Amino acid sequence: MSFCNSQKIAFLMFLLSGCGNFESKPEISQETEIPIASIAQSAPYGVAPIEPAYLVIRDANDWKTAKGQLPEQAIIAGMEAGMPSGHLILAAYAGVQTSSGSNVKIKSVMQQNDSITVVVVFSSPGPNEIIQPSNSLPFHIVSVAVDSAESWSGYTLTFQDEHASVLKKIVLP
C-alpha cells in the first residue's frame, strides 16, 4: 500500500509537530564546579599513618573514624573548624613523605549528575630547594556547600589526581 502525497504530508507534519508518542533522550547535564573553602592545609612533621587517605566527613562523628587514617594535626584542625551547616568536609592526606617540601591540595570539586570528582594535586620539592630529612605529613581539608548532608546520598565521589588517575572512589551512604 502506498501513501499519496497528501497522506505523506500529513504524516510528516504529525512527526514534526511532536505529537507522536516518542520519548526524547534525557539531556546530559554539564559538569559544574562546586565552590570549596579551605579549612586547613599543612605538612607538619611527625608520625602518622603511612598510607594516603581520602575522606568525606558528613558529621562531627566522622572525625572519630578519621583517627588512624589522617595525621592527628589534621583531625584537630578539622574538629576546631567545626561542621558548618549545609556543608560536607573533604580531606586529602598524601601519606608520610620522607622529607620536607611536599604538599597536597584539593584543587577543585566538580559535579555531573550524581558523580562528584575531587581533583587532588601533589607537589614535591624542586631540585634546588633545601629540604629537611624528616617525615612530613601533607594534608588538605576543605568544606563544600551542599543542600544537606543527605543530598549527596547515593552519589559516587571520586578522588583523582591532576592526570585523572583514580585515587579513591566512594559511594556515599
Give the span between the Cα atoms of 26 and 12, in whole angstroms: 24
**Per-residue confidence (pLDDT) for residue 37, from 0 to 100:** 94
Instruction: Name the strands in the sheet holding 115-123, side by side, starting at the edge strand that comes first in the sequence.
Output: 32-34, 103-112, 115-123, 156-161, 166-171
pLDDT at 96 (0 to 100): 94
pLDDT value, residue 71: 95
Positions in the chain whose pLDDT score sits under 50: 1, 3, 8-27
What's the pLDDT score for residue 99? 86
Model pTM score: 0.80
How many Å apart are CA 39 and CA 142, to the nearest integer? 5
CB 59 within 8 A of CB 65: no
